[in-house]
Chain A
Amino acid sequence: MSALVHAPGFGLFLTLAAYLGAGELHRRLGRPALLAPVLVAMVVVAVALELLGIGYDEYLASVSVLTLLLGPATVALALPLLRSGRALLADRGAVLLTLLATGAVSVAVTVAALELWGASDALVLTTLPRSVTTPVALTLGQTIGASTTLAVVLTLVSGVLGATVGPWLLDRVRVVDPRARGFAVGMVSHGIGTSRALAESDTAGGWSSAAMVLNALAMTVVLPVVARAFS
């Protein structure tokens, strides 16, 4: 039994099985946002590791192929942007202004909230990349010296917030234009929000993934500068 559990492929198998199982469960229950497959799979794998007595380092070595794929996946984010390129170029002024204003507000609120609370600089650094899509947030977190695992959880929380509360909040402030709705969700809650926006309409989904990529690019440039004030 111990040979099986500690075989090099076991962690990878566990992760794939948990992800596929969670995806199937999600589909059968009518896609509730709170039971996002990634969250369910994370919990299942964490519990299994604990029960079977597998250390996190051993697990990481087993799933190194998944970690490796984050790089090419980040490069592939150019594809949805290229797909909606023409619509974005036609409205580039509006898009750029929204991108800058939202980025500034987002960073300012994050820093202000944590500073008012008297949180440590390390925590500020960790919270900054949270609205950026996860593969970029991970590498960006490493660049600015954040706790990357915690940064990933905050990123996931933002994503789930966007998928659950996002559409409701946009209704409250009377944003009805599908382009604006999609863009707003993509800006603050990246991939998880984008999959929810795609469910609203193709237009919303396209603008959402464009916002996700543009936000990642903008934050890659801006955050290292902001981070310098806290390290």
Chain B
Amino acid sequence: MPGTPPPPPEPARGWAHHVPAVLAGLALLLGLQLAGTALVEVTGIPVPGAVVGLAALLALGARWRGVVARAEPAGTPLLKHLQLLFVPPGVGALTQLSTLVQNAGPLALAVGGSFAAGLVVAGTLLQRLLRRRVSA
């Protein structure tokens, strides 16, 4: 159709046009994870490398918004379908069902109890604290 304006240019999302944003974002996330792993290896702190990578992205992203924009094309779909990644270990657990059934009593008490106690404590405490802040 003549007169149709050209499509608006892609908003600048950090990388050059020829770099696929998803792959670049994945490389950034993997790089941070590996940097975390290296740091764990050197310091010997008992924390998973990926969690150190999480903290690193938190620190970098709070300082430079561009880092967030570069991580998002890979991070957002990964988080949206995080549950897909749990299918393989879940299948493994189904094959261990006998351990689960054997210990069903104590497990139900521990999981159900700490679930209910945690939920009630977190909800009521935070609500009270936030309310006090508003009225103060």
Q: Do A and B originate from a single complex?
A: yes
Partner-B contacts on A (CB < 8 A): 15-16, 18-19, 36-39, 41-43, 45-46, 49, 56, 59-60, 63, 66-67, 69-82, 85, 91, 93-95, 97-98, 101-102, 105-107, 109-110, 113-114, 117, 119, 123, 127, 130-131, 134-136, 138-140, 142-143, 147-150, 152-154, 156-158, 161-162, 165-166, 169-170, 173, 175-177, 179-181, 183-185, 187-189, 191-192, 211, 213, 216-217, 220-221, 224
User: Looking across the interface, which residue of chain B has its beta carbon closest to that of A136?
Assistant: B51
In the assembled complex, which residues on chain A have CB atoms less than 8 Å from the CB atom of B19? none
- A76-B29, A127-B111 known; A63-B122 Cβ under 8 A: no
In the assembled complex, which residues on chain A have CB atoms less than 8 Å from the CB atom of B36? 75
Task: Count B-side interface residues using an 8 Å CB cutoff.
Answer: 73
Contact A94 B126 (CB under 8 A): yes
Contact A73 B88 (CB under 8 A): no
- A97-B129, A192-B83 known; A15-B110 Cβ under 8 A: no
- B22 CB to closest chain A CB (Å) equals 11
Contact A150 B96 (CB under 8 A): yes
Any A CB within 8 A of the CB of B120: yes
Any A CB within 8 A of the CB of B39: no
Any A CB within 8 A of the CB of B38: no
- A156-B86, A184-B126 known; A56-B95 Cβ under 8 A: yes
Closest 9 CB pairs of A and B: A76-B75, A139-B48, A94-B129, A72-B29, A184-B123, A175-B123, A180-B127, A42-B90, A184-B122
- B124 CB to closest chain A CB (Å) equals 6
Contact A113 B109 (CB under 8 A): yes
In the assembled complex, which residues on chain A have CB atoms less than 8 Å from the CB atom of B114? 105-107, 109-110, 113, 130-131, 188
Separation of A45 and B91 alpha carbons in the complex (Å): 7
In the assembled complex, which residues on chain A have CB atoms less than 8 Å from the CB atom of B50? 70-72, 74-75, 135-136, 139
Contact B96 A187 (CB under 8 A): no
Interface CB pairs A-B, < 8 A, 29: A38-B83, A66-B85, A69-B85, A75-B29, A75-B57, A76-B57, A78-B55, A78-B57, A78-B58, A79-B75, A82-B62, A85-B62, A98-B121, A101-B121, A107-B114, A117-B106, A127-B111, A134-B85, A152-B92, A156-B86, A170-B123, A173-B123, A177-B131, A179-B130, A180-B122, A184-B118, A184-B120, A187-B118, A224-B47
Any A CB within 8 A of the CB of B66: no
Contact A127 B88 (CB under 8 A): no
- A93-B129, A109-B114 known; A36-B83 Cβ under 8 A: yes
- A12 CB to closest chain B CB (Å) equals 10
Contact A56 B91 (CB under 8 A): yes
Number of A-B contacts (CB under 8 A): 301
Provide the main secondary structure of the chain A interface: helix
- A150-B96, A220-B51 known; A72-B30 Cβ under 8 A: yes
Contact A76 B111 (CB under 8 A): no
Contact B58 A188 (CB under 8 A): no
Interface residues in B34-64 by Cβ distance below 8 A to A read 36, 46-51, 53-58, 61-62
